[in-house]
Amino acid sequence: MTRWSRITVLAMTLLVPSLDALGELRFPPPEFESGYQFPQTTAPGAKAVFHEYIDSAVLLAALLLATYLILRRRSRRAIFALMLLALVYFGFWRDGCICPIGAIQNVTLTISDGSYAIPITAGIFFVLPLVFTLFVGRIFCGAVCPLGAIQDAVLLHPVAVPRWLESGLRLMAYTYLGLAVLFAAIGNSFVICRYDPFIGFFRLSGNWNILIIGTSVLLIGLFIGRPYCRFLCPYGILLRQMSRLSKWRVTITPNECVKCRLCEGACPFGAIREPTGDWPRGEYKVAKRRLALLLLLLPILVAAGGWGGYALKERLARVHPKVRTAERVYLEDTGKVEGTTNASDAFRATGRTREDLYQDATAIRGRFAVGGALLGGFLGLVAGGKLVALSVRRRRSEYEADRAGCFACGRCYQYCPKERERRKKNKETVAGH
Amino acid sequence: MADNGNSMNRRKFLREGLWGACLGGLGAAAGLTAARNNRGNMVWQIDPNICIQCGNCATYCVLERSAVKAVQAYALCGYCDLCTGYLVPEPTALDTSAENALCPTGAIKRTYVEDPYYEYTIDEALCNGCGKCVKGCKAFGNGSLFLQVRHDRCLNCNECSIAAACPSGAYKRVPADHPYLFKGVERTQ
């Protein structure tokens, strides 16, 4: 009887399609005589979703509060306090995930892959700070972003970075943004999250690479204010451009600039622009010719960038694990390398044909050829645009915060004598009542 | 003077237009998110039929102790005395002595049930997700041990470090209301 029931159990298990089809149960589960009951395999549930809605609500509240503090209260101290709170909540409490910087990739993947279900928080975190920026500038950077906050908190002795160098280094951020979008769309990987420098600190754990990158960024950040934000942050690029169009923004002086130059060195991020006079006569003609030349150079740069990106397609495509596996399997098959890797073993274990794999890899390479060319063209355009911007002179009659570069941290307020006057008056009116 | 006024208008028009376009773009992104979100959230999970137990799960997780643990599908287990998921190859004796234990952290508990059967249970507080037991069980046993992402521990990172390091492509996003890919018949949740 036992044997028969064992055979039935075996037959049943063989018929269950979810089991490996190879007749896997070498040792049929025993028929216990002691009344032993099979324990259930536990399946602890996923973390509650309500946290995500709280995150979104906290983000909205923090942005609203930051708007009030930076534009109405004009208080650096209050903004610093809010910034630390945001660092504790979004950074240490919520482990630095999800953040708007990484959400770029989720949104990209949503557009490129119809089957991907984007978490609602990723969408909200991507959109909200940008919407606020369109109205009031980059208040997200100054008061809410945990990555900005951790750098802002360690800023010890800011050293000025020359304008041309800052502008040049910012090309890294454009490149990072372009690569992140490309890899999220067709490379099957989220590089922004993988190389988030501070995630190791937020989680108080992580591998050596992350900790070394994070520590170096913070060490640089002791002397160069917010290096990640200025030279690397891909989301910062979007914020910059939208901040140029903002309806309201940080103004150093509450009413009128007396050009006392006191605020000149106030900004550790080099975002205060001095008033400009008229072009010197001789220089004007030279600058005009230079501008014409640079405008002619622009299409050449775009074409060169596009060609460069196209030429890099094979290297770029290696980000995709399938391409890496295909290359490895090819090398092994042709005897160019010894031994196998985990990935090539895993591929062989699936029983798929090589032609199938090579076809997939070729298709991915083709996508990277187009994507690489577009990315290269975009970077050429950005580089050309930067050169053009150097030859254009904006007329400014007073000291003002650079629309694109200002993080809305509020440091410059206290340097303005007009602001001090205003605060004194405020205090008196409060005392008078 | 008139010319200057004109160009200011043009600039303003451009600015307003761009502003509106940006807002529209963000609105489109928000709409797309809302439309695509109706399928519910996704979490990471390992497909045990693809997993090759390379050991990356133990080392790549951002948590100090990986969120990946070995789990036991009791209904598939043979309750063998000579368990190849529990004992090293060619053990000196079929017992619980440390020199015979395959698990580097001693996370598998061997309990006597009745002759000649033993129950094997994973102590998740000790398990580091290396998959050595899984490999042993799959090679010579029933394959009742397999690796799973435990969602009480998993942070559900946007970019899972283990998924990025997984050589076989066993890592995938699964719907949050069915967060496990259990082997065998007893599917919970």
With an 8 Å Cβ cutoff, are B40 and A117 in contact? yes
Tokens representing residue A144 in the block? 């809410």
In a domain, A129, yes or no: yes
Question: Are residues A364 and A258 both part of a single domain?
Answer: no
Residue of B33, B76, B166, B189 to mutate, interface with A, max A Cβ within 10 Å: B33
In a domain, A49, yes or no: no
pLDDT value for B175: 85
pLDDT value for A16: 44
With an 8 Å Cβ cutoff, are A189 and B159 in contact? yes
Tokens representing residue A303 in the block? 């074409």
With an 8 Å Cβ cutoff, are B19 and A134 in contact? yes
With an 8 Å Cβ cutoff, are A341 and B167 in contact? yes
**Separation CA A150–CA A226 (nearest Å):** 9
In a domain, A429, yes or no: no
CA distances from residue A136 to A246, A308, A312, A322, B109 in whole angstroms, order as listed: 6, 38, 40, 44, 60
Percent of chain A with pLDDT over 70: 94
**Separation CA A151–CA A134 (nearest Å):** 24
Question: Are residues A157 and A304 both part of a single domain?
Answer: no
Burial of A119 (0-12, 13-18, 19+ CB in 10 A): buried
> With a CB-CB cutoff of 8 Å, which residues 174-233 of chain A face chain B?
189-194, 199-200, 203, 205-207, 210
pLDDT value for A217: 97
- Nearest CA to A19 out of B71, B49, B84 is that of B49
Mean of the pLDDT values across residues A399-417? 94
Q: Give B-chain residues touching A43 at CB under 8 angstroms.
A: 179-180, 182, 188-189
Across A220-348, the runs of DSSP E, i.e. the strands, are 272-273
In a domain, A114, yes or no: yes
In a domain, A140, yes or no: yes
Question: Are residues A327 and A192 both part of a single domain?
Answer: no
Predicted TM-score (pTM) of the model is: 0.87
Question: Are residues A197 and A89 both part of a single domain?
Answer: yes
Question: Are residues A191 and A68 both part of a single domain?
Answer: yes
Structural domain harbouring A361: 283-390
Residue of A18, A27, A41 to mutate, interface with B, max B Cβ within 10 Å: A41
Whether the pLDDT of residue A8 is over 50: the answer is: no
Task: Please tell me which residue, A121 or A87, carries the higher pLDDT value.
Answer: A87
Cis peptide before A30 (omega within 30 of 0): no
Q: Give A-chain residues touching B150 at CB under 8 angstroms.
A: 44
Mean of the pLDDT values across residues A149-160? 95
> With a CB-CB cutoff of 8 Å, which residues 136-175 of chain B face chain A?
140-143, 150-152, 154-159, 161, 164, 166-170
Task: Please tell me which residue, B8 or B159, carries the higher pLDDT value.
Answer: B159
Q: How far is A27 from chain B (nearest CA, A)?
A: 5
Question: Are residues A197 and A324 both part of a single domain?
Answer: no
With an 8 Å Cβ cutoff, are B63 and A106 in contact? no
A186-196 core/surface letters (b: 16 or more CB in 10 A; e: else): bbbbbbbbbbb
**Residues 6 or more apart in contact with residue B39 via CB below 8 angstroms:** A117, B175
With an 8 Å Cβ cutoff, are A16 and B32 in contact? no
Question: Are residues A384 and A342 both part of a single domain?
Answer: yes
Question: Are residues A84 and A233 both part of a single domain?
Answer: yes
**Separation CA B59–CA B81 (nearest Å):** 31
> With a CB-CB cutoff of 8 Å, which residues 335-364 of chain A face chain B?
341-343, 345-347, 349-350
Is ipTM over 0.90? no
B112–chain A Cβ distance below 8 A for any pair: no
- Nearest CA to A185 out of A124, A239, A122, A107 is that of A107
Position B105 confidence tier, pLDDT thresholds 50, 70, 90? very high
pLDDT in tens, A245-283: 999 999 999 988 998 989 988 999 999 998 887 777 778
Q: Give B-chain residues touching A37 at CB under 8 angstroms.
A: none
Position A104 confidence tier, pLDDT thresholds 50, 70, 90? very high
Please work out, in degrees rounded to the nearest 5, the angle formed at the alpha carbon of residue B38 by the alpha carbons of B32 and B44.
100
* Spacing of C-alpha A301 from chain mean position: 26
Position A308 confidence tier, pLDDT thresholds 50, 70, 90? very high
In a domain, A5, yes or no: no
pLDDT in tens, A312-361: 999 999 999 999 999 999 999 999 999 999 899 989 988 889 999 999 99
Tell me how crowded residue A21 is: count the other CB atoms within 10 A of its CB: 9
Question: Are residues A59 and A129 both part of a single domain?
Answer: yes
Question: Are residues A204 and A77 both part of a single domain?
Answer: yes
Map residue B68 onto helix, strand or coil.
Answer: strand
**Residues 6 or more apart in contact with residue B57 via CB below 8 angstroms:** B46, B66, B68, B129, B130, B131, B147, B162
Question: Are residues A265 and A307 both part of a single domain?
Answer: no
In a domain, A278, yes or no: no
Number of domains in chain A: 2
Q: Give A-chain residues touching B161 at CB under 8 angstroms.
A: 194, 207
Contact A70, A79 (CB under 8 A): yes
In a domain, A111, yes or no: yes
pLDDT value for A11: 47
Question: Are residues A352 and A406 both part of a single domain?
Answer: no
With an 8 Å Cβ cutoff, are A32 and B117 in contact? yes
Instruction: Determine phi and psi for A329, rounding to 5 degrees.
Output: -60, -40
